[in-house]
Amino acid sequence: MQLSDKKVTLSLSDGGQAVELPVYSGTVGPDVIDIRKLYGGTGMFTYDPGFMATASTESAITYIDGDKGELLYRGYPIEQLAQQRNFLDVCYLLLNGDLPDAEQLTEFDALVTNHTMVHEQMYAFMQGFRRDAHPMAVLTGLVGALSAFYHDSTDIANAKDRRTSAIRIIAKMPTLVAMAYKYSLGQPNIYPRNELSYTGNFLRMMFATPTEDYHVNEVVERALDRIFILHADHEQNASTSTVRLCGSSGTSPFAAIAAGIACLWGPAHGGANEAALQMLEQLQAQGGVEKVGAFMEQVKDKTSGVRLMGFGHRVYKNYDPRARLMQETCKEVLQALGLENDPLFKLAMELERIALEDDYFVERKLYPNVDFYSGIVQRAIGIPTSMFTAIFALARTVGWIAQWDEMLTDPNYKIGRPRQLYVGAQRRDVPAER
Ligand code: ACO
């Protein structure tokens, strides 16, 4: 970051001494006011629940312009990456800062492929879960447990160890997600096959059985790969900030990623894809397109507690570029699988059309987010609703680990420790008698 010519002077109405605060500029996007000396100069903290106006870090990985509806990974527009590259290219980009050339990609692919197996003991560990456990509960446990398995690369101050952990977690996530799925079905686990692509291998581990192999359909493979690309990183969102905060204590990277998975699970974040599809299914069961008007009235009624899931975003005040790409993918997949008349897709399109014309949504700048269409694509390719957020976690793992790595090499890195405005009881004595 660069010190700007601008300065901010904070004057206090009680006559206390004014404080001058430096301003820093990034390469693009809003400047930041450096308030680190504020407490020392005024004895006051800043107050910003939900981090509405607080930059928690500097970062060179992902940039979002919420007003324009723009998303860049390491400077490259998401549209170009989604159309021209595959997920492993994007993983390499997020970890290293630049896209790989052909040789670098082959090397990276081989490296990831070599780490796809998990310790056999992980399968025994999984047996402790109930079969009806939510896959995100299982995944949180499995990823946390990885920290108990790899004792050869635990030095987080060592770049080589950090990279080994990064490759391991990226490589093993598809295996773990597929394990969680197979366990829920009561089917035997399918081991990874290294001759397949990253995404093809995942599909096979999900859908093959010992009695019948799974032949990867290229359209499905490409669609899922695109889903992975679109979810790979999204700057300082709730789960990424969780990974950073958890990792800031110096804990194991696997433990930090497990914390990120736990955060992602919530319906206001990654859990929205599952919630969005459930919403569409319920609406379809109640009458479908004909009931859209009445449903929208419920959504706009603040006392109903109903939200249009897959709509709205803290940062995007324009169309989420990922939602646009997802809608396109949705059309392609449904067509390729002969499901052009999918009623849920029609319903989603109708909800979007009505919302984008409705003052309630227009005034609040609420647009479809990535979760609005991703569930329809996943459902079409055979992924059950309960697995949607686990797929999101698989894809976001590279972003989490790249952000964790960036944090540990940041010269300003400190353990994360927010302050508070205390509103509880003042000091008082415990009564001598009950
Ligand atoms: N349906 C109906 N109204 C909404 C919606 C929605 N989906 N989203 C926001 N609003 C309304 C709010 O009621 C509020 O109205 P008000 O100003 O009259 O009180 C206004 O829009 C602003 O909403 P906030 O909740 O204050 O915005 P915030 O930035 O805190 O929340 C969030 C963003 C959580 C994504 C929200 O839009 C939401 O709940 N969306 C549905 C869940 C969802 O799709 N989450 C996925 C996000 S993307 C991701 O994590 C991958």
Give the pTM: 0.93
Give the residue, out of 314, 316, 318, 361, with the most ligand 1 atoms within 8 A of its beta carbon, to mutate for a pocket test: 314
d(C-alpha 262, C-alpha 140), whole Å: 6
Taking 90 as the threshold, does the pLDDT of residue 111 lie above it?
yes
What integer pLDDT is reported at residue 57 of this predicted model? 97
What per-residue confidence (pLDDT) applies to 151? Answer: 85
Unique residue bearing structure tokens 């991703």: 374
Of the pLDDT bands very low, low, confident and very high (cuts 50, 70, 90), residue 98 is: very high
Q: Is 66 exposed, middle or buried (0-12, 13-18, 19+ CB in 10 A)?
A: middle
Rounded Cα gap, residues 228 and 248, in angstroms? 26
Residue 32 CA, ligand 1 centroid: distance in Å: 25
Alpha-helix runs per DSSP H in 286-370: 292-300, 321-336, 343-357, 359-363
Indicate the average pLDDT of the chain: 95
Find tokens 């090499």 and name the residue: 409
- CB of 368 closer than 6 angstroms to any ligand 1 atom: no
Angle at 19 between CA 18 and CA 24, to 5 degrees: 145
Query: From CA 199, how far away is CA 194, in angstroms rounded?
Result: 11
User: Which one, of 295, 277, 391, 389, lies nearest residue 343 by Cα?
Assistant: 277
* 369 in contact with ligand 1, CB cutoff 6 A: yes
Give the mean model confidence (pLDDT) for residues 252-276. Answer: 94
Supply the pLDDT for residue 100. Answer: 98
Residue 134 has pLDDT above 90, yes or no: yes
Mean pLDDT of 201-224: 94
Residue nearest to atom 39 of ligand 1 (CA): 268
Q: Please state, for a pLDDT cut of 90, what percent of the chain lies above it.
A: 91
293-296: Cβ within 8 A, 24+ apart: 293/354, 295/351, 296/351, 296/354, 296/355, 296/358
Q: How far apart are CA 180 and CA 178, in angstroms?
A: 5
pLDDT of 175 strictly over 90:
yes
Query: How far, in Å, is the centroid of ligand 1 from the Cα of 56?
Result: 22
Q: What does each C-alpha distance from 289 to 51, 344, 353 come to in angstroms?
A: 38, 9, 12
C-alpha dist (Å) from residue 326 to 295, 345, 355, 364: 24, 12, 18, 23
Does the pLDDT of residue 154 top 90, yes or no? no
Q: Which two tokens stand for residue 135?
A: 């896959």
CA of residue 334 to ligand 1 center, whole Å: 28
pLDDT of 210 over the 90 cut:
yes
How far is it, in rounded angstroms, from Cα 372 to Cα 309?
Answer: 7
How many residues are present in the chain?
434
H or E element at residue 188: none
Three-class DSSP category at 239: helix
Tell whether the model's pLDDT for residue 17 goes beyond 90. no
CB atoms within 10 A of CB 311: 23
CA-based nearest residue to 264, from 134, 376, 170? 134
The pLDDT value recorded for residue 33 is: 97
309 lines ligand 1 (CB under 6 A): yes
DSSP 43: S
